Amino acid sequence: MSGVGRAKPAERGLRGPIDWDVAARVGARTAPRPPKATRAEVSALEAGLADAAERARSIAAETAQLPLAPDSTTIVLDRPGWVRASCESFGGLFGQPGGGRGRAVAAGAETGALLGLLAGRVLGQFDPWAQRLVLVAPNVLMAQRKMEVPADPFHLWVCLHEETHRLQFNAAPWLTEHITVAARELLEHVEPDWAVMMRTIGSMIRGEKASTADVIGSNPRAAASMDRVTAVMSLLEGHADVMMDRVGPGVVPGLGRIRRRFEARRRGTLRDRVIGRLLGLDVKLAQYRDGARFCRDVIAEVGVEGLNRVWAGPDALPTRTEIAAPDQWIERNT
């Protein structure tokens, strides 16, 4: 797919415990080919996504009852561009190399291969470190075609989710640093056991219940860090999922149909589920479900305004236990 924006490489090398230059090259090279589209279709897609992102800003702010974010930077990328943009952000997040050059290169190649797989799945994301909304045009097009839904409402619906993430980080300026610290702590406490990883992948292929989260094992500090990361990501993803549906069919025509077909797409084929487990997407889907349930239950008791107390500071965030028991969070924050 030509004509789609490409992320500019960072001015400095993408360094960290993983060689992000290697990851970017491998991921961009292994990203799946885009769906077939004419030049006119690509141009219409890019324009439609840019327009949807702009329209979604005020709609999302009104629905979430959060201040409109002043920065409206949005970029539309192809799959290799998404890989490069992700590596650029991760390189800044995780800092200097933690081991030898060979180890960093190997880790970069492995990470790049995983990002290459993800490059065919991600519809969009808000990058809080670069303060920009990223939309992956080929994936939006492919999803819309497979779901057989109209393009304009689907584009708006996708953008509502990502614009809600922009609102979250705008309402809670401390949130980016909070997630950065939690993610770094998690990496510090996790030393992947590749034998365990291979057994886990084998279990996935056999259809047994397993996830890459199993690799963390019984390390108590890693488990505690994972709990913190899981809780905040469940909140962010669940909150965005709830808000994108609260706009109603008057704003997004056919919203119910889009949601049903999107959920069916999330479940996917056996091959999709195996790859999803390998990439940790099964964990992400659980975050959507658990976080959305938490937000709906809190809204039912104290309204959207009451839910928005979560953005007051780190202490106001729900714990992983409270995500599953919203009444405990309500009691603590009212």
Structure confidence by residue, pLDDT tens digits, 136-161: 999 999 999 999 999 999 999 999 99
Taking the domains of the chain in order of start, what are their residue ranges?
Answer: 1-171, 173-334
The strand pairing partners of 134, in sequence order, are 75, 125
Least confident of 47-61, 88-102, 167-181, 226-240: 88-102
Q: What is the identity of the amino acid at 73?
A: T
**Residue 128: alpha-carbon gap to chain centroid:** 11
Burial letters for 14-43: b for 16+ Cβ neighbours within 10 Å, e otherwise?
bbbbbbbbbbbbbbbebbeebbebeeeebe
User: Sorting pLDDT into bands at 50, 70 and 90, what band is 6?
Assistant: very low
Give the residue with greater pLDDT, 17 vs 6. Answer: 17
- Check pLDDT > 60 for residue 12: no
% of the chain residues with pLDDT over 70: 77
Q: Return d(Cα 36, Cα 165) in angstroms, integer.
A: 30
- The chain-wide mean pLDDT, for the chain, equals 83
Take residue 33 and report the two structure tokens written for it: 């080919």
Q: What is the identity of the amino acid at 67?
A: P
The per-residue pLDDT for 183 is: 78
User: Sorting pLDDT into bands at 50, 70 and 90, what band is 318?
Assistant: very high
- Check pLDDT > 80 for residue 217: no
pLDDT in tens, 59-70: 999 999 999 998
The per-residue pLDDT for 192 is: 54
* Mean pLDDT score, 21-48: 95
* Mean pLDDT score, 197-201: 47
The per-residue pLDDT for 124 is: 95
% of the chain residues with pLDDT over 90: 56
- Check pLDDT > 90 for residue 90: no
The per-residue pLDDT for 103 is: 77
The per-residue pLDDT for 190 is: 62
**Strand order in 124-127's β-sheet?**
74-77, 132-136, 124-127
* Mean pLDDT score, 285-293: 82
Q: Return d(Cα 32, Cα 274) in angstroms, integer.
A: 17
User: Positive or negative CA dihedral for 199, 114, 106, 133?
Assistant: negative
Which residue intervals of the chain are DSSP H helices?
20-30, 39-64, 79-94, 101-118, 137-147, 151-171, 175-189, 194-205, 220-246, 255-267, 270-278, 281-307, 320-324, 326-333
Q: Return d(Cα 82, Cα 118) in angstroms, integer.
A: 10
Determine the CATH number of domain 1-171: 1.20.150.30
Q: What's the whole-model pTM score?
A: 0.84
pLDDT in tens, 233-255: 899 999 999 999 999 999 999 99
Q: Return d(Cα 63, Cα 54) in angstroms, integer.
A: 15
DSSP run (H or E) holding 75: strand 74-77
